[in-house]
Amino acid sequence: MADLPQPSSRRWAPWRRSDQRGEVAPPGAVQLLSWIDSSPVGWVLLAPGGGVQHLNPRAERILGLKAVQHLEGRPLAELCPDPNLLNCVAMARRHERPQRLEWQFNHQDLDVMVVPAIGGWIGVQLHSRRSLEAQLEQQERWVSDVAHELKTPLTALLLVGDSLAAQVTDQNARLVERLQRELLRLQELVNDLLELSRLENTVPGRGLKLAPVDLGALVEQVWAGVRPLAEQRGVQLQLQQPEEITVQADASRLHRALLNLFDNALRYSPDGRPLEVGLSRLGSWCQLSVRDQGPGLSRDDLDHMFERFYRGDPARARGQRTGSGLGLSIVQQIAVTHGGRIQASNHPEGGARMDLLLPTEGLGV
């Protein structure tokens, strides 16, 4: 995408790993097409000129095409003249960003993802929405049931802990305090697991209450919630906003994402040093950056920090609080459901920087 910063070069790729014999070659085109052909998802590859370069068997069945026909090289409009699909492909090519389409074709409910690539290539993914939604609903229902079953005994244990705290003695004060702290941490873990499951089982662009959101005002609102904790350590907010930036987004979800980013930054911010937040436009995208002035990120952090339950080196943390290990994973999923992404880097002047990138007009569909 021309107006979107490229992801960190630290992202793992199997052919970038070298050994004593030198660089490992990337998979060849034959191998890649073999993987696509074995995929349970329909795949259509379009060349820069618009002709069909490859269809896998699943795509042929979805589109009602016969494998014996000569399909490669023909325009997509000849194989499937549906204007909704053609417009979606045209938008992806014109805007150079992924487009999603809820599509009804041949009595099928389909979820279509059109992904532009380097050099004008286009990849079209065709999912059966019925089977996909059934799997997502079943998984979310299972996680919800488990979380509900855990919440009931946790609530009872928290009440027991409060009762013990009211009768604490010098001998057991530390044990009761630890019990309450661990129960609260377990409660936070259950809530975060439930939230992450809901986000992961949400198709991007769906299930969101989209409305215009003033990012500057939202930053101030979220910071007001963490200010008492920050002021205990002398940490102030420095907001750099050259202009008002409004995005089409789910305000409650973005509130949660910013809260998690601030919480993560405060863990590693030195006492008395500011936490910097910057807002800027990048073409049809906006970027919200959160920078602490702590020790920065290690290579392992950059490779794994958005994975579930990953925690950085605790020796670098400035606060005593520990989270569930799911905060940044939740931020990542919130970004994805809005058609954006989150990326991490080390600031040239020190400290870690998190960049939340969002399309200003919401996820294109």
CATH number at residue 166: 1.10.287.130
Are 224 and 349 part of one and the same domain? yes
3-state secondary structure of 80: coil
Beta bridge partners of 108: 105
Are 298 and 232 part of one and the same domain? yes
The span from the CA of 257 to the CA of 335, in Å, is 8
Name 229's Cβ contacts closer than 8 Å, sequence gap at least 6: 266
pLDDT value of residue 223: 94
Domain of residue 169 covers 131-200
Are 241 and 351 part of one and the same domain? yes
The domain boundary, picked from 99, 128, 157, lies at: 128
pLDDT value of residue 318: 59
pLDDT value of residue 7: 41
Angle (CA) 315-318-324 rounded to 5° is: 80
| Catalytic residue from among 107, 148, 255, 347 | 148
The domain boundary, picked from 177, 200, 223, lies at: 200
Are 145 and 226 part of one and the same domain? no
Are 195 and 218 part of one and the same domain? no
Are 62 and 164 part of one and the same domain? no
Are 224 and 345 part of one and the same domain? yes
The span from the CA of 289 to the CA of 299, in Å, is 20
The tens-digit pLDDT sequence of the chain (365 residues) is 334 444 443 333 444 444 455 556 677 888 888 888 888 889 999 999 888 988 898 888 888 887 656 777 888 888 888 898 999 999 998 888 889 888 888 878 888 999 998 888 999 999 877 665 556 666 666 666 666 677 677 777 778 878 888 887 777 788 888 787 777 777 777 777 777 767 766 666 666 788 999 999 999 999 998 998 899 999 999 998 888 899 999 898 899 899 999 999 998 889 999 999 999 998 889 999 999 999 889 888 888 888 877 766 665 565 555 556 788 888 998 898 888 899 999 999 889 999 999 988 765 43
The span from the CA of 186 to the CA of 176, in Å, is 15
Pairing of the two strands 275-282 and 237-240? parallel
Are 219 and 350 part of one and the same domain? yes
In a domain, 345, yes or no: yes
The domain boundary, picked from 78, 96, 128, lies at: 128
The amino acid sitting at 29 is A
In a domain, 111, yes or no: yes
CATH code for the domain of 44: 3.30.450.20
In a domain, 9, yes or no: no
In a domain, 6, yes or no: no
Kindly state the tokens that stand for 297: 């990120």
Among this protein's residues, is 304 annotated catalytic? no
The span from the CA of 151 to the CA of 263, in Å, is 24
Q: Indicate left, alpha or beta for 216 from its phi (over 0: left) and psi (-120 to 50: alpha).
A: alpha
Are 123 and 25 part of one and the same domain? yes
Are 56 and 145 part of one and the same domain? no
In a domain, 365, yes or no: no
The amino acid sitting at 58 is R
The span from the CA of 350 to the CA of 118, in Å, is 33
In a domain, 270, yes or no: yes
Total domain count for the chain? 3
Are 170 and 279 part of one and the same domain? no
In a domain, 8, yes or no: no
Pairing of the two strands 122-128 and 108-116? antiparallel
Are 266 and 349 part of one and the same domain? yes
Run of H or E residues at 99: strand 99-105
In a domain, 106, yes or no: yes
CA distances from 174 to 62, 124, 156, 158, 165 (A): 63, 59, 20, 16, 10
